[in-house]
Amino acid sequence: MLIMMKSHATSEEIDAVCRKIELMGYRAHPIPGSTRTAIGITGNQGPIEAAAIEALPGVGECVPVSKPYKLVGRELKEETTVIDLGDGVRIGGPELAIIAGPCAVESREQTRTIAAAVAAAGARLFRGGAYKPRTSPYSFQGLAKEGLEILAEVRKDFGLKIVTEAIDVESIELVEHYGDVIQIGARNMQNFSLLKRAGKSQKPVLLKRGISATLDELLMAAEYILAEGNYNVILCERGIRTFADHTRNTLDLSVIPAVQRQSHLPIIVDPSHGTGRREKVLPLSRAAIAVGADGLMIEVHHQPEEALSDGNQSIHPLDFEQLMDEIRQIASVLGRTVAPGSARKT
C-alpha cells in the first residue's frame, strides 16, 4: 500500500503518518516527490487496515500497489531519482554519468595513468575493482585494501568519484569507507544478504543486472536495498547470457525504456561487459545514449594487452576520448549533456 499525502501536507503531518505506520508494526518509507510526498509501507504480510491511516490529517489517498515491488516503482514516485554525489556530480539528472576506468586496480601507476586520461576526457566517475569476482579461482583476485587506498588517492588527486565493487558482506565495510558508490556485480545480484547490507549503507549502490535476470528480478533485487532504507540505487544493464556467441553477452538495450516505464531509479549501460569486445564498445555506447540511458560504465586501459582482467573489452584512452566526443553530440540531441573534457585534440 502507498499513502499519497496531499500536496500541501506539512512535515508534521507526514511524520505523524509515519509514526502511525510504525505503531502498527510496519516500516514507513516517506519519499518526497515534486508535487507531494508518498509513503511506502513494508513489513506487512497481509493487507493493511487503510481506514486508520486515511483518517489522519494531510492524507490524500491510500493506493493498493499492483506490482510485486513497492519502493522502486513509478507508482510511488513519478519523477526519476537523481542521486547527488556532491561536487556537482549527479546520476539521473540531465548530465550523463560517465564512469570509466580499468576493470581492476592493478597498481598505483596503472590506476593513476588511466584516471588522468579519463578525467581529461570528461569522465567524472572512476571505476576499478579492488575485489574481483573471477570465474577462475586462479585468476587475479584484486588488490583488496591496497587497491581501495589507491582509489582514494585518485579521488583526491583527480577529483573523480569512485565506483568500486563489494563482493560480499565482508568486503562492503571497506568499500563503503573508501568508495563513493558501492558496486554490486552481476554474479551477486541475488546475494540477498549483501543486498540487505548495502541497504543499510549511507553510500549509493550501483546494482548490475544478473547474468540471466529478468527485468522483474532486477527490480526486486533493487527493492531489497530500498526496503532497508537506502533509496540511492542506480541500475546497470551489462548484458545477459543468450545463445548468441558473437559477443560475450547480449546487451539488452530494450530494457532501458522498460525500466524507465516501471521504475524511478536511474539506469546506466555497461557496453564493455555487455559485449566483451573492444571494437563493439563505441557503437553500443552511442546506442545506449540514444535509447535514453542515464550514463555509461566503460572499461579503459592504457595497455589493454597487459591488463590482468578484461583486456579484450578495454578501450584505449584515445578511443575513450573519441567516444566522449561522439556521445556529447548524441546527448545534445536529447537535451542532455556530458561534462566537458580538458584533453586537447591533436
Which residues of the chain form contacts with ligand PEP (CB under 6 A)? 103, 129, 133, 185-187, 208, 238, 273
Cα–Cα distance measured from residue 203 to residue 199, given in angstroms and rounded to the nearest whole number: 9
| Per CB under 5 A, 310 contacts Mn ion | yes
Cα–Cα distance measured from residue 6 to residue 218, given in angstroms and rounded to the nearest whole number: 31
| Per CB under 5 A, 236 contacts Mn ion | no
Cα–Cα distance measured from residue 340 to residue 309, given in angstroms and rounded to the nearest whole number: 29
The least CB distance from residue 277 to ligand PEP, in Å, is 15
SS3 of 127-160: the string is ECECCCCCCCCCCCCCCCHHHHHHHHHHHHHHCC
Cell of 39: 509513503
Q: Which is nearer to Mn ion, 310 or 321 (CB)?
A: 310
Alpha carbon 162 to chain centroid, angstroms: 12
Residue nearest to ligand PEP (CB): 185
The least CB distance from residue 48 to ligand PEP, in Å, is 37
Q: How many CA atoms lie within 13 A of 11 on its CB side?
A: 1
Size of the site for Mn ion (CB under 5 A): 2
Q: Would you give the end-to-end CA distance of the chain in angstroms? A: 58
The least CB distance from residue 186 to ligand PEP, in Å, is 4
The least CB distance from residue 307 to ligand PEP, in Å, is 11
The least CB distance from residue 103 to Mn ion, in Å, is 3
Partner from Mn ion, ligand PEP, none contacting 189, C-beta within 5 to 8 A by type = none
The least CB distance from residue 32 to ligand PEP, in Å, is 32
Cβ–Cβ < 8 Å for 317, 117: yes
Partner from Mn ion, ligand PEP, none contacting 208, C-beta within 5 to 8 A by type = ligand PEP
| Per CB under 5 A, 103 contacts Mn ion | yes
| Per CB under 5 A, 106 contacts Mn ion | no
Cβ–Cβ < 8 Å for 76, 38: yes
Q: Which is nearer to ligand PEP, 20 or 238 (CB)?
A: 238
Q: What is the CA radius of gyration of the chain?
A: 21
Partner from ligand PEP, Mn ion, none contacting 133, C-beta within 5 to 8 A by type = ligand PEP
Residues in contact with Mn ion by the rule CB under 5 A? 103, 310
